[in-house]
């Protein structure tokens, strides 16, 4: 190994496609490359066949290889193994384990005797069958995950799950939470929302639960007549959500928008407008947008699932016991909106201690430390 540690992060999707895992990779790689003597490159797939095979994104070299089948999320990218074999990297870091790309990368690294790390970034899926199959998937991936120098989880529940379901030893697991953007965007924390706006940020898929918010909107309007819902994101469920809003007679109260993945200031501005931020996913690990809302001091309403429930147990959000109960969801949301009515049992959004919240700088520093310890 030379004086500069060379790390290859492998992620199935990356810029310009963005979600929680992609944001994590985007935010951490640029910081490690900027602030340390470690060089990190990204290897990802291109299912469109239209993106550059190599480019620099925010100071990080990104390599793209073809993947098939292009229309599915269980695609395979054979060139991943070749890239790991010829790249001369000292360490491979697999970001996400939801399709065939990470097992291929782990196997290739093993054959080339390159140490590797795994960050599962466990999330949900719109298919209930796929969700039920996850436990079997973790069991099957157990040998590869146990061979990793370190499994890096974003939440405590995730670390416990992989100890139990994949047999990863406790001393091989680290917990490094996703960060929040603290800096110029923090100025928005001083703003007081003046409109009864509910904001939900996330890819538009069934498991993300946006449909629960649309179904709650007629009930919410009875409580707060001017209430509106903004869905921030794109995804396969968008048309179905639009149809649902029209069927319920609230199409004029639901807006759909997206924000460029690199524009964190625009995301902060969007969240700052919210009277309340809501995420009612069936499954989440450590959602970036929710943490950004907390950093801005915005009240957050979440489902009880996994990482969301963990945030609620930390006093950072209000948990809704049953996200399918539209009336209960509406009541919870209404207590935070201008024109709504608070009762004695209402959750009060905490005044954020920014120094106590995880940051992307801290996340990147933790990864850099693990990289050095793993070679």
**Chain segment 217-253, per-residue pLDDT in tens:** 999 999 999 999 999 998 889 999 999 999 999 999 9
Q: Tell me, what's the pLDDT at 191?
A: 66
Range 82-89 average pLDDT: 91
Same domain, 208 and 292: yes
- Against a cut of 0.75, is the pTM above it? yes
**Cα–Cα distance for residue pair 120/80, rounded to 1 Å:** 18
Q: 199 and 157 in one domain? A: no
Range of 133's domain? 5-179+358-373
CATH number for 26: 3.40.50.2000
- Residue 131 has a pLDDT of 46
Dihedrals phi, psi of 316, to nearest 5 degrees: -100, -10
Q: Do 86 and 171 belong together in one domain?
A: yes
Q: Do 321 and 347 have their domain in common?
A: yes
For the segment 288-339, what is each residue's pLDDT rounded down to a tens digit?
888 888 888 899 999 987 678 788 888 888 899 999 999 999 999 999 998 8
Tally Cβ neighbours within 10 Å of residue 79.
Answer: 16
Judgement on whether residues 48 and 196 belong to the same structural domain of the protein: no
Question: Is 285 in the same domain as 195?
Answer: yes
Instruction: Say if residues 366 and 86 touch (Cβ distance below 8 Å).
Output: no
Looking at the fold, whether 337 and 239 belong to one and the same domain comes out as: yes
- Is 230 in a helix, a strand, or coil? strand
Question: Rg (Cα) of the chain, in Å, rounded?
Answer: 21
194: exposed, middle or buried (C-beta count within 10 Å: 0-12, 13-18, 19+)? exposed
Same domain? 118 vs 189: no
**Distance, CA of 344 to CA of 341 (rounded, Å):** 10
Residue 128 and residue 250 share a domain: no
C-alpha to C-alpha distance for 138 and 159, rounded to whole angstroms: 12
Residues 175 and 220 in one domain: no
Residue 98 and residue 205 in one domain: no
| Number of domains into which the chain is organized | 2
Comparing CA positions, the residue from 137, 186, 176 lying closest to residue 294 is: 186
Question: Are residues 213 and 240 both part of a single domain?
Answer: yes
- Cα 241 to Cα 39, 210, 246, 259, 280: the distances in Å are 42, 8, 9, 19, 15
- With CA atoms as reference, report the closest residue to 118 among 56, 166, 85: 166
**Nearest residue to 366 via CA among 324, 19, 374, 352:** 374
12-71 per-position pLDDT tens digit: 989 888 778 888 999 999 999 999 999 999 999 998 889 999 999 999 999 999 988 665
């Amino acid at each position: 190994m030379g004086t500069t540690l060379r790390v290859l992060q492998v992620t199935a999707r990356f810029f310009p496609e963005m979600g929680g895992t992609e944001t994590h990779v985007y935010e951490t790689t640029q910081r490690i490359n900027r602030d340390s003597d470690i060089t990190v490159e990204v290897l990802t797939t291109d299912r469109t066949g239209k993106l550059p095979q190599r480019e620099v994104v925010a100071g990080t070299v990104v390599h793209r290889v073809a993947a098939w089948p292009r229309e599915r999320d269980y695609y395979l990218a054979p060139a991943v193994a070749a890239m790991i074999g010829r790249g001369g990297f000292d360490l491979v870091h697999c970001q996400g384990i939801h399709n065939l790309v990470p097992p291929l990368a782990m196997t290739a690294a093993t054959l080339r005797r390159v140490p590797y790390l795994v960050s599962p970034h466990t999330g949900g899926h719109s298919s209930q069958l796929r969700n039920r199959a996850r436990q079997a998937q973790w069991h099957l991936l157990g040998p590869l995950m146990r061979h990793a120098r370190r499994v890096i989880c974003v939440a405590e529940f995730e670390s416990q799950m992989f100890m139990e379901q994949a047999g990863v030893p406790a001393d091989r697991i680290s917990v490094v939470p996703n960060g929040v953007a603290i800096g110029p965007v923090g100025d928005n924390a001083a703003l007081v929302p003046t409109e009864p706006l509910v904001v939900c940020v996330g890819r538009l898929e069934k498991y993300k639960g946006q449909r629960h918010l649309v179904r709650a909107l007629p009930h919410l309007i009875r409580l707060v007549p001017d209430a509106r819902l903004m869905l921030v994101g794109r995804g396969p469920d968008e048309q179905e959500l639009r149809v649902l809003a029209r069927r319920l007679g609230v199409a004029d109260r639901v807006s759909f928008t997206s924000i460029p993945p690199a524009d964190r200031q625009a995301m902060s501005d969007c969240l700052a407008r919210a009277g309340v931020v809501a995420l009612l996913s069936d499954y989440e690990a450590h959602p970036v947008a929710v943490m950004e809302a907390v950093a801005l001091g915005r009240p957050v309403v979440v489902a009880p699932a996994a990482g969301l429930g963990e945030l609620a147990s930390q006093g950072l959000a209000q948990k809704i016991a049953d996200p399918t109960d539209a009336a209960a969801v509406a009541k919870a949301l209404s207590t935070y909106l201008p024109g709504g009515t608070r009762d004695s049992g209402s959750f009060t959004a905490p005044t954020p201690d920014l120094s106590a919240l995880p940051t992307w700088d801290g996340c990147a520093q933790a990864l850099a430390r693990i990289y050095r310890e793993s070679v």
